[in-house]
Amino acid sequence: MLKKTLRNPQAAAGLAIIALFLLTAVFAPALAPNSTDAIDVMSKYLSAGARFPLGTDQLGRCVLSRLIYGARSSAMIVLPSLAVIGFCGVVCGASAAYIGGAAERAFIVVCDVFMAFPPLVIAISLVGALGQGMLNIIAAVFFSAWVWFAKVVRTWAAIEKGKDYVTASKIAGCTRAGVIFRHIIPNILPQCVVYLSTGVASAILMVSGFSFLGLGFEAGAAEWGAMLNDAQANFHTHPELLVYPGLCVLIAAAGFNLFGEALRDVVTPEGAGQ
């Protein structure tokens, strides 16, 4: 499957963008040409040059350095959030589908309660109530999105539950936990990876949206959404301060979407082109 995915031009393009995003996040201290917080009002709104490759903002801070650290800020929020969503969604969804009965009904009720509200409303409410901070943003992303993934996993697990290999496993004496974790989850894992890879793009947009609305990182933080928020007042005079972080959000989200869509076509070829 890996070779087939890598031969797909769309997947290759997505992987290249994802690799650039992750490498930038990991090596941000080495890549940033200047400090992200060094304020020099005498150097504000400088044009691109040798010292400041993309110029400076309204406080004289290096725009390129802040964009590079913005990748790290997004990665530190989005990747842990998706990891927790993936773990909880897979375990809860697969367990509810296989156990059935009261456990499955309770799971469906919990999902329906969360899904009655738009994810963005839940996330904004939680961030507003809990306050700013990385852990609070991760919690907001998790609670706004986990049930959507878990309910999809339940559907996939319910399909697997009726297959012959599950029946054979039970006849062979495999425990309930063994069937779930050794058989059902490994067989639905490729679909889960596809779902989560496309979900990264939505999470990046959500996190940037928090900061843009003033609910995410603190004002002045080196994060793409916060940079968009700071640049609003200078849209007419210095539109590039909005364009740069906006392009970063767009390109990062597009990379994960491209890879996720290509991976979906490989995992479920019958759905390609739909």
**Residue 160 is part of a domain; what is its CATH number?**
1.10.3720
Is the CB of residue 209 less than 8 Å from the CB of residue 163?
A: no
CA distance 153 to 31: 39
pLDDT band with cut points at 50, 70 and 90 for residue 273: very low
Q: In Å, what is the CA distance from 272 to each residue of 4, 18, 262, 263? A: 14, 22, 9, 10
The reported pTM is 0.82
Evaluate whether residue 188 is within a structural domain: yes
For the record, the structure tokens of 194 come out as 């596809």
Evaluate whether residue 274 is within a structural domain: yes
CA distance 109 to 126: 21
Specify the number of domains making up the chain.
1
Given this model, what pLDDT does residue 152 score?
A: 93
Evaluate whether residue 256 is within a structural domain: yes
Evaluate whether residue 18 is within a structural domain: no
Given this model, what pLDDT does residue 269 score?
A: 54
Q: Which of 10-24, 97-111, 141-155, 197-211 has the lowest mean pLDDT?
A: 197-211
Q: Where are the beta strands (DSSP E) in the chain?
A: none
pLDDT tens-digit map of 34-64:
998 888 888 888 888 888 999 999 889 999 9
Is the CB of residue 226 less than 8 Å from the CB of residue 220?
A: yes
Evaluate whether residue 4 is within a structural domain: no
Q: Which residues constitute the domain of residue 168?
A: 85-274
Given this model, what pLDDT does residue 236 score?
A: 84
Evaluate whether residue 72 is within a structural domain: no
Evaluate whether residue 75 is within a structural domain: no
pLDDT band with cut points at 50, 70 and 90 for residue 24: very high
